[in-house]
Structure 1
Amino acid sequence: MKVKAEDIVRRHRSNPDGFRLTLLCGPNVTRCQALVDELIAPISKSSERVDLTISDLSDNPSRLNDEATSTSLFGDKRHIVLRLNSGEAVRATAAIETLLQSDTSGDPVFVIAPGMGDKTALAKLITDAPDGLIAPCYETSPEQAAAAISGMGKAEGLQLDRNLVQDIAALTSNDLTLARMEVEKIALYLDASPEKPQEAGGDILALLGAENEEEDITFLINAALSGDTGPLSLEIAASKSQGLSEVGLIRVMLRHLTKLAELRSKVDRGSNIETTVKHPSVFFKDRNNYRRQLQIWSSQNLARLIERILDLEIKMKSSGQPDHVLLEEELLLISRKAAKSR
C-alpha cells in the first residue's frame, strides 16, 4: 500500500499488526528519518531495536527475514530498522522480497531509503504487498510547512500567530523535524498543553534564542565543510556550554549536504560555480559558503559524506559514547579532509 507521507503514521497506527514492512523513501532525508522515528516511538521502550545496513544483507538476502522472525535472547518483542543509503535500495530488493513472501509472521521492519523513487520495481513490490506500507517524502513547500506548523502548535496547546508560523518555517528552512523541535520548545517555555492552551507571538523566537542557535549550528557546519579547522575547534568548545542539539545539527547538515550535492551535480553537467550559486534557490547569504564548498567537494565525496552523517546518527543511538564526542570527532575529521582539498 502506498500512502502520502503525512498519512503514514495514522495509517500504520490504525493497524500496527497489519504491516510487516514499512518503507520511507524520496528526496527528503530528514523527513524519512523523522517519520520512522515517529513510527517506532510507541514500541521503542517495550521492544528491542535491531539496526541493519546493506552490508548485513548483501551476502545473505534471507538475513532480514531471519532477524524479523527470530526470537530475542530473552523472548522480548523486537523491531528491525534497515537503513539504505542512496543507491542501495536495489541491492536490498531480494531481502525485502524474501521477507514479504515469508509465511512466518514476525517483528515489524522499518526501512529508511532516502533517494529511492516511488516508481521503482521495489516500490511497486511493497505497494502491491498486502502487508507492505510505503510513503515517498518530498521537499516541503512553505505553504505545507506553515500548515503543518500550525497543526503542531494546536497539538501542543499553542495558538501560534501567523507571523510566528512563517518565522518558524523560514528559520528551519521548512524542515518539519526542526520545526517540531521549535514548537515543542515554545510549548515547554509557556507551559502550554491542550488542556491549558497559550498564545504565542512573534517575539518568542528571539526570546528563546532560536535564531542564535541556528546561527551557531550553521557556523559549525560551514566551518567543517570549508576546512576552517581553527575556528571550528573554537566554536565546538563554545557550543558545549550552549547545549546545542547534536541530532538537530545532523539533520540541518544533511539538508545542507543534499543541497550541496544538487548544486555539485549541476557543475558536473557543465554549469560554472559562479552561475550555480547565484540560482534563486540559493539564499544570498549562503552563496560564499556554497562557492567555497563546491570547489572542495566532488560529487563522489559528497555521496560518501552523506552516508557517514547518516551512519553517525545510528552510532549515537547504539555506541554508548556521548553524542557530543561522536559529533566533535566527525566534524573535525570532515574539516581536516576539506582543508587538504582546498
Structure 2
Amino acid sequence: MKADATRLRAALSAPPPDIRLFLLHGPDEAGARLYGDLLAKTLGTGAERVDISPSQLRSTPALLADEAASMSLFEETRFIRVSGAGEDILEALALLLSAEQAGNPVLVIAPTVKTSAKIVKLAIDSRQALAHACYEPSAGEADRLVTELAQQAGLQPDHGVARRIAEASAGDRAVMAREVEKLALFLDAAPDRPKPLDHAAIDAIGADLTDADAESFATAVTMGHVTDAGDLLVQLAESGQSAIPWLRAIGRKLMMLADLRRESDSGGDVGTAMKRHRVHFTQEAAVRASLLHWPAGRIAAALDAVRSAERAIMAAHTPGDIIAYNAMLDMARRIARR
C-alpha cells in the first residue's frame, strides 16, 4: 500500500502487526534514515537491529523472510534493515510478503529506486507493506520541519531562524536535526526548560556556509581544482557544519555531467543539454573541458563514492566527516591527474 508521510509516521510509531515491510524509496536517503530512527525509537532501546546487505539478498533471497520470522535468543524485539537496496532484491521482497509468517518488521531504504520500479509496485499492491517516496522537502516544508524539531528540543526560534537553518542544511533532514540538536546543547534547552533561539546563537556556533560555497566546491572537485577544493574544505571544517550539503552539491553536479555524457555519447547537442541545466555561458567551455575527464563509468563510481561518504556521516561511531573530506579531495586529485 502507498503511504503518505502522516500515515507512515503513524505506522512507525505503532507498527501494525499485519505490516511486514516498510519500503522507503526516492533520493532523500537522509529522510528515509530518520524514519528508520523513528521505528527504532518506537521498538525501544533494547531492540535488536539486524542489518542485511542487498548483495546478501541477491545471493540468498530467502534470507530476508527467514530473518523476519526468526526469534531473538534473548527474547528481544527485533527489526531488519536493508540499506542501499535496488531492483535486485525483488525476489527477496516477494518471498517475505508471501511467507506464512513474519513477526519482525523489515525496513528497506532504496534511494535510487523510482516510483515505477517493480519493488515499489510489489509493495503498493500488497496489504502487508507500506511504500513511501522520500523526496527532499520544499522550502516551506523545510522551514516547518526545522520549527517542529526546534520546538521538540525546547527551542523557540525567532523570525527567520528556521529558514536560515533550513537553507544552511540544503534541505537535508538529518543535517537539520543535527544543527537543532547542536543549538539545543549550546543553549542548554530542553522541553522542560525552553529557551529562545535567535540569530546570535547561530552566529556563535559557526558561520553559515552558503549554497554558493557548496556549488563552488562541487565545481572545483569535478574539474580537478585541488587547491581551490582544499581551501573551501578548510572553511567547511572550521565552520563545524555537516559535509552532507556539499556532498549533495557534488552529486547534483555529477548527475548533470551524466546527462551531458549521455547526450554526447548519443551524438546529441551538448550545448542544448547545458542550457537545460542552466549552465552559465561563462562556464560552458569549462564544463565541456571537464566532460572529457568524466566517462559514464567514472561518473557512476563517483556517485557511489558520494553516497558511501554520506552514509558514513550518518552512521554512528564513525569518523564520518573525515571520511567525506578524504573522499571529496581524492575525487578532485583523480581528475587533476587526467
> TM-score, with normalisation over the residues of structure 2?
0.79
Q: Whole-Å Cα distance in 2 between the matches of residues 32 and 321 of structure 1?
A: 20
Q: Whole-Å Cα distance in 1 between the matches of residues 289 and 33 of structure 2?
A: 29
Q: Whole-Å Cα distance in 2 between the matches of residues 28 and 51 of structure 1?
A: 20
Q: Closer, same or farther in 2 for the Cα pair 1:316/1:50, shift >3 Å?
A: farther
Residue 83 of structure 1 deviates from its aligned partner by 2.0
Q: 2:274 corresponds to which letter in structure 1?
A: T
Q: Whole-Å Cα distance in 1 between the matches of residues 317 and 202 of structure 2?
A: 33
Tell me the equivalent position of 2:37: 37
Q: 2:79 corresponds to which letter in structure 1?
A: H
Tell me the equivalent position of 2:56: 56
Q: Whole-Å Cα distance in 2 between the matches of residues 321 and 171 of structure 1?
A: 23
Residue deviations 1:30-60, cap 9 Å, x none?
A: 3223332333344474233332232212232
Tell me the equivalent position of 1:166: 163
SS of the residue aligned with 1:255? helix
SS of the residue aligned with 1:203? helix
Residue 148 of structure 1 deviates from its aligned partner by 1.6
Residue 149 of structure 1 deviates from its aligned partner by 1.6
Q: Closer, same or farther in 2 for the Cα pair 1:259/1:218, shift >3 Å?
A: closer
Residue 118 of structure 1 deviates from its aligned partner by 2.7
Identify which range, 51-60 or 94-103, moves more after superposition: 51-60
Tell me the equivalent position of 2:303: 306
SS of the residue aligned with 1:334? helix
Q: Whole-Å Cα distance in 2 between the matches of residues 238 and 258 of structure 1?
A: 20
Give the conservation status (yes or no) of the 8 Å contact 1:29–1:254: no
Give the one of 290, 294, 319 matched to 1:297.
294
Q: Closer, same or farther in 2 for the Cα pair 1:108/1:306, shift >3 Å?
A: farther
Q: Whole-Å Cα distance in 2 between the matches of residues 79 and 136 of structure 1?
A: 21
Q: Closer, same or farther in 2 for the Cα pair 1:215/1:92, shift >3 Å?
A: same
Q: 1:139 corresponds to which letter in structure 2?
A: E
Tell me the equivalent position of 1:198: 195
Tell me the equivalent position of 2:140: 143
Q: Closer, same or farther in 2 for the Cα pair 1:316/1:252, shift >3 Å?
A: closer
SS of the residue aligned with 1:181? helix
Give the conservation status (yes or no) of the 8 Å contact 1:2–1:135: yes
Residue deviations 1:179-238, cap 9 Å, x none?
A: 222222222222222222222223332222141599998787665544344566677789
Give the one of 89, 92, 97 matched to 1:95.
92
Give the conservation status (yes or no) of the 8 Å contact 1:153–1:159: yes
Tell me the equivalent position of 2:122: 125
The correspondence of residues 19-34 of structure 1 with structure 2, limited to 5 A, is: 19-34=19-34
**Percentage identity across paired residues of the two chains:** 26
Residue 10 of structure 1 deviates from its aligned partner by 2.7
Q: Closer, same or farther in 2 for the Cα pair 1:184/1:319, shift >3 Å?
A: closer
Q: Closer, same or farther in 2 for the Cα pair 1:222/1:203, shift >3 Å?
A: farther
Q: Closer, same or farther in 2 for the Cα pair 1:261/1:315, shift >3 Å?
A: closer
Q: 1:122 corresponds to which letter in structure 2?
A: I
Residue 25 of structure 1 deviates from its aligned partner by 0.7
Tell me the equivalent position of 1:259: 252
Q: Whole-Å Cα distance in 1 between the matches of residues 108 and 140 of structure 2?
A: 28
Residue 311 of structure 1 deviates from its aligned partner by 3.6
Q: Closer, same or farther in 2 for the Cα pair 1:298/1:152, shift >3 Å?
A: farther
Any unmatched runs of 5+ in structure 1? none
Tell me the equivalent position of 1:276: 274
Residue 138 of structure 1 deviates from its aligned partner by 2.0
Identify which range, 222-231 or 258-267, moves more after superposition: 222-231
Give the conservation status (yes or no) of the 8 Å contact 1:2–1:134: yes
Give the conservation status (yes or no) of the 8 Å contact 1:25–1:114: yes
Q: 1:51 corresponds to which letter in structure 2?
A: D
Residues paired across the two proteins, number: 332
Q: Whole-Å Cα distance in 2 between the matches of residues 252 and 227 of structure 1?
A: 19
SS of the residue aligned with 1:195? coil
Give the conservation status (yes or no) of the 8 Å contact 2:24–2:134: yes
Q: Whole-Å Cα distance in 2 between the matches of residues 6 and 276 of structure 1?
A: 38
Any unmatched runs of 5+ in structure 2? none
Q: Closer, same or farther in 2 for the Cα pair 1:49/1:231, shift >3 Å?
A: farther
Residue 98 of structure 1 deviates from its aligned partner by 0.2
Q: Whole-Å Cα distance in 2 between the matches of residues 30 and 293 of structure 1?
A: 29
Q: Whole-Å Cα distance in 2 between the matches of residues 293 and 165 of structure 1?
A: 37
Residue 142 of structure 1 deviates from its aligned partner by 0.9
2:186 is the counterpart of 1:186:
no
Give the conservation status (yes or no) of the 8 Å contact 2:153–2:189: yes
Give the CA RMSD over aligned residues. 3.8
SS of the residue aligned with 2:52? strand
Give the conservation status (yes or no) of the 8 Å contact 1:20–1:131: yes
Q: Whole-Å Cα distance in 2 between the matches of residues 75 and 220 of structure 1?
A: 49
Q: 1:276 corresponds to which letter in structure 2?
A: M
Give the one of 321, 335, 338 matched to 1:338.
335
Q: Closer, same or farther in 2 for the Cα pair 1:318/1:115, shift >3 Å?
A: closer
2:15 is the counterpart of 1:11:
no
Q: Whole-Å Cα distance in 1 between the matches of residues 164 and 33 of structure 2?
A: 24
